[in-house]
Amino acid sequence: MNNYAEKIEKINKISQNTLIETLNIVFTECDENTLKATMPVNSVVHQPFGYLHGGASIALAETLGSYLSFLHVDTEQYNVFGLEVAANHLRAKKSGLLTGTATLRHKGRTTHLVQIDIVDEENKLVCAVKMTNIVVKKEK
């Protein structure tokens, strides 16, 4: 599947009825080494004091990082799992729209390193995340 529009359509479809849909994450763009998605900041992703919950930012980042690796493996033969996530929460948000961009920094046979930057509508960095994924052969 080399057509990027088809890839976006596929991952949006398989994300239905999951946490991804609950958080209103929508995939918007991809190319060879990047994947983008948006997530609204509203009460669904707030912590009790009305600000964006850090866990929601990490859920957006992990979703992007995992799917980016998913797009780079033969999913008939391999699974991709998050191995490590390190996040820096840099800006508080009460409302708006976040855009996450995952960039593949290293694509090895068994590990992928992904950088995910989450920005607000003014392109200000809200969260910077580094994610390591492991590629595991499926059991038969």
Q: How far is CA 138 from the centre of its chain?
A: 22
* pLDDT tens digits, one per residue of 41-100: 999 999 999 999 999 999 999 999 999 999 999 999 999 999 999 999 999 999 999 999
9, 62, 84, 139: which one is catalytic? 62
* pLDDT tens digits, one per residue of 37-47: 999 999 999 99
| Structure token digits, residue 76 | 């008939």
Assess contact for 45 and 53: CB atoms under 8 A: yes
Catalytic status, residue 76: no
List residues bridging with 79 in a β-sheet. 136
In this prediction the pTM is 0.94
* pLDDT tens digits, one per residue of 6-37: 999 999 999 999 999 999 999 999 999 999 99
What is the side-by-side strand order in the sheet with 111-119? 26-30, 34-41, 96-107, 111-119, 125-137, 78-89
